[in-house]
């Protein structure tokens, strides 16, 4: 049986499928299969990325279960996960609707209002559930990976690895990390309030049906962080209508962004970009194959000037 054939896993789960449709299958990432079963609503078999741990899945499923209990349509677990060929799998609820690609101004505003509603639903969950195992909030782990923090202590190793193929980008990455840390320290970012966030409320993870919210998918990055970080990773920097609608909805509901959160929007966005570069550096360190163009693209958005020394070359 092929490694990407989900039938053996479904057999382990005691599911006798009728029709199976591949929704997404990234070999070293997540995979999703739509599973049709006679006499039952459709479900989705999810395969998690290779580094996912049982503890992380338990956390993610707890957040999903909480939201499902509050009436949200999310891919809540329909049973316990199983392990096959060194990967975790779980049958999850099917979320109808479709993502809106190429949003117009009105649709970006709607996504902002829906994010505000999601945050109101998640408000207060951070205290009982705590942080996702092994993770930190972005503003406290600038040199860490794009998500999580177990590898945050590998920053120097990442920089050395990048320097072996691009001294210029390594110098730029170090400068961006230093500058971003300093900006957050001046701001007093340690005092930012935190909450459980979705972790990737981008347009491709929000489903709509005839203009109405149908559900939210992919909570693979959910953890405790700040509202400015959620806006950054939701790509609100290219959707100003989203940010404006998010602010207005929260203000109307009595939970506006604080002055500190407003001041943190830009430096936390820069920290997000450093984290994205760090994730690419980590991939290069592990595989030996560096996407230098992508690393440069991320660093160019940190507001840190690129090194000007001609000895460092183009990359």
Torsion, Cα of 97, 10, 134, 76 (10° steps):
40
- The pLDDT assigned to 140 comes to 80
Q: What is the mean pLDDT of residues 149-155?
A: 60
Rounded-to-integer distance, Cα 160 and Cα 163, Å: 5
Domains assigned to the chain: 7-95 (3.30.200.20), 99-312 (3.90.1200.10)
- The pLDDT assigned to 89 comes to 96
- For 50-77, how does the pLDDT look when each residue is reduced to its tens digit (9 = 90+)? 889 999 999 999 999 999 999 999 999 9
Is there a contact between 243 and 264 (Cβ–Cβ < 8 Å)? no
Helix axes 155-163, 259-287, angle to 10 degrees: 50
Is there a contact between 203 and 101 (Cβ–Cβ < 8 Å)? yes
User: Residue 141: pLDDT band by 50, 70, 90 thresholds?
Assistant: low
DSSP per position, 139-195: GG-TTS-SS-STTGGGHHHHHHHHHTT-HHHHHHHHHHHHHHHHHHHHHTGGG---E
Question: Which tokens sit at 293?
Answer: 């163009």
Could you give phi then psi for residue 45, rounded to 5 degrees?
-85, 125
Torsion, Cα of 69, 75, 78, 79 (10° steps):
-110
Residue 113 has pLDDT above 70, yes or no: yes
Determine the Cα angle at 62 with ends 57 and 65, to 5°. 120
- For 233-256, how does the pLDDT look when each residue is reduced to its tens digit (9 = 90+)? 998 988 999 999 999 999 999 999
HSE-up of 49 (CA within 13 Å, CB side)?
10
- The pLDDT assigned to 178 comes to 93
- The pLDDT assigned to 149 comes to 46
- The pLDDT assigned to 153 comes to 61
Closest CA to 281 of 135, 168, 167, 145: 145
Residue 2 has pLDDT above 60, yes or no: no
Is there a contact between 289 and 154 (Cβ–Cβ < 8 Å)? no
User: Residue 192: pLDDT band by 50, 70, 90 thresholds?
Assistant: very high
Q: 34-48, 137-151, 257-271: lowest mean pLDDT where?
A: 137-151
Q: What percent of the chain has pLDDT over 70?
A: 92
- The pLDDT assigned to 3 comes to 54
CA end-to-end distance (rounded Å), the chain: 44
Residue 151 has pLDDT above 90, yes or no: no
User: Residue 143: pLDDT band by 50, 70, 90 thresholds?
Assistant: low
- The pLDDT assigned to 315 comes to 52
Rounded-to-integer distance, Cα 315 and Cα 172, Å: 10
Give, in order, the Cα–Cα distances in Å from 194 to each of 11, 63, 125, 229, 230: 41, 15, 10, 10, 10
- The pLDDT assigned to 93 comes to 97
Instruction: Record the pTM.
Output: 0.89
Is there a contact between 37 and 55 (Cβ–Cβ < 8 Å)? no
Q: 42-56, 129-143, 254-268: lowest mean pLDDT where?
A: 129-143
């Amino acid at each position: 049986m092929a490694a990407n054939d989900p039938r053996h896993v479904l057999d382990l789960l005691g599911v006798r499928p009728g029709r199976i449709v591949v929704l997404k299958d990234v070999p070293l990432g997540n995979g999703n299969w739509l599973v049709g079963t006679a006499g039952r609503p459709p479900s989705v078999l999810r395969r998690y990325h290779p580094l996912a741990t049982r503890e992380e899945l338990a956390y993610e499923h707890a957040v999903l279960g909480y939201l499902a209990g509050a009436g949200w349509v999310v891919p809540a677990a329909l049973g316990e996960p199983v392990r096959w060929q060194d990967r975790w799998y779980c049958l999850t609820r099917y979320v109808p609707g479709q993502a809106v690609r190429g949003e117009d101004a009105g649709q970006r505003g709607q996504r902002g209002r829906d994010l505000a509603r999601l945050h109101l639903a998640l408000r207060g969950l951070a205290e009982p559930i705590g942080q996702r195992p092994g993770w930190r909030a972005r503003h406290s782990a600038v040199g860490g990976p794009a998500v999580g923090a177990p590898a945050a202590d590998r920053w120097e190793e990442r920089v050395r690895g990048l320097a072996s193929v691009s001294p210029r980008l390594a110098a730029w990455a170090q400068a961006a990390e230093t500058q971003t840390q300093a900006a957050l320290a001046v701001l007093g970012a340690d005092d930012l309030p935190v909450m459980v966030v979705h972790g990737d409320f981008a347009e491709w993870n929000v489903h709509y049906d005839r203009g109405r919210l149908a559900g939210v998918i992919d909570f693979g990055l959910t953890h405790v962080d700040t509202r400015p970080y959620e806006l950054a990773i939701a790509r609100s920097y290219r959707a100003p209508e989203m940010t404006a609608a998010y602010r207005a909805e929260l203000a109307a509901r009595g939970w506006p962004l604080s002055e500190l959160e407003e001041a943190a929007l830009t430096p936390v966005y820069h920290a997000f970009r450093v984290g994205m570069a760090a994730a690419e550096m980590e991939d290069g360190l592990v595989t030996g194959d560096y996407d230098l163009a992508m690393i440069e693209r991320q660093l160019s958005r940190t507001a840190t000037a690129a090194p000007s020394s001609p000895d460092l070359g183009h990359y």
